[in-house]
Amino acid sequence: MTTETKIIVSDVSKTFVLHNQNGITLDVLSNANFSVSSGECVVLNGRSGSGKSTLLRALYANYLVDTGNIEVEHQGRWVNIAKAQPREIINVRKHTIGWVSQFLRVIPRISALEVVMQPMLEMGGCRHQAEQKAKTLLTRLNVPEHLWNLAPATFSGGEQQRVNIARGFIVDYPILLLDEPTASLDATNSAVVVNLIQEAKDRGAAIVGIFHDEATRDQVADRLYDVKKQNEATRQAEQGSAQATSISACA
C-alpha cells in the first residue's frame, strides 16, 4: 500500500438471493479487484445490470459483500469497511467518504441551504463558512436563490439533484463516490459538475463514479474498470477449473 493509494478492492463478490422467487441466486459481482489513488477518477463501466451500482454501494458499505476486502485510508490508517463495525463505518462516512446518489433523500421542512450545509456542520465546521460555501455551490449549480430557503421536496428532479451534488461537494472528502450525478442534468449543469470533479481531483481526492453520459465520462475518467468483463473472466475461470476437475476424476 503506497501513500498515494486511497482505496483497495480485493476479490470482492456479491450474490443476491431472491427469497420471493424460490431462493434463486444472482451472482452480481465476482472477484472485483482494483485500486484508486489520490487525484484519480476510476469510472465503473458496463451495461445496465452488470453490477456497477452494487459495487459502488459496497464501497460505501450500503451492501455487505460475500467475500473479499474493501480497504480505505481513513485518518492515516487503513479500514476494511467490508468487515468494519457500524460505528466505524459511520465515522468513515462522516470524515472520509463523500457520496452523491442518483436521487436526493428529501428531508421534510429542511431548507435546501441547510441540507447542503449539514455535512460540514456535522464535522464541526463554522456555520458562517458552511453557509458561504453552500451558497457558492448552489450558485455555481444554477439553483435559483429564491429556492434556497425552501424545502427541496417541491423542487424539480434536476433541482433536487443539484442540491444533492452541492451537499456531496461541500466537504473536501479524501474519497468521493458518484452514482450518475449528471443523469438528470442539462449540458450546462453537467459542465459545472465536471469542473467540480476536476477540482476535487486537483486537491487529491480519489473518485469512483458511474456515468452513463459518455461525454461526461470521457472528460472525468482517468481509467475505466469494466465490471462485466471481470465477472465474465471469473466465471470462465471457474468453468475451466470445474471442467479440469471433471476430466481428472474420469481419468
What's residue 2's pLDDT? 46
Mean per-residue pLDDT, 170-187: 96
Q: Which CATH superfamily is domain 1-92+221-251 in?
A: P-loop containing nucleotide triphosphate hydrolases (3.40.50.300)
- Taking only the tens place, the pLDDT of each residue in 110-169 is 999 999 999 999 999 999 999 999 999 999 999 999 999 999 999 999 999 999 999 999
- Taking only the tens place, the pLDDT of each residue in 75-110 is 999 999 999 999 999 999 999 999 999 888 877 889
CA angle 229, 8, 103 (to 5 degrees): 75
Among 196, 187, 144, 188, smallest CA distance to 165 is for 196
Record the cell numbers describing residue 209, joined without a space: 463514479
> Domain coordinates of the chain in residue numbers?
1-92+221-251
In whole angstroms, how far apart are CA 13 and each of 45, 70, 139, 152, 234?
17, 11, 41, 37, 10
Calpha distance 225→194 (Å, rounded) = 19
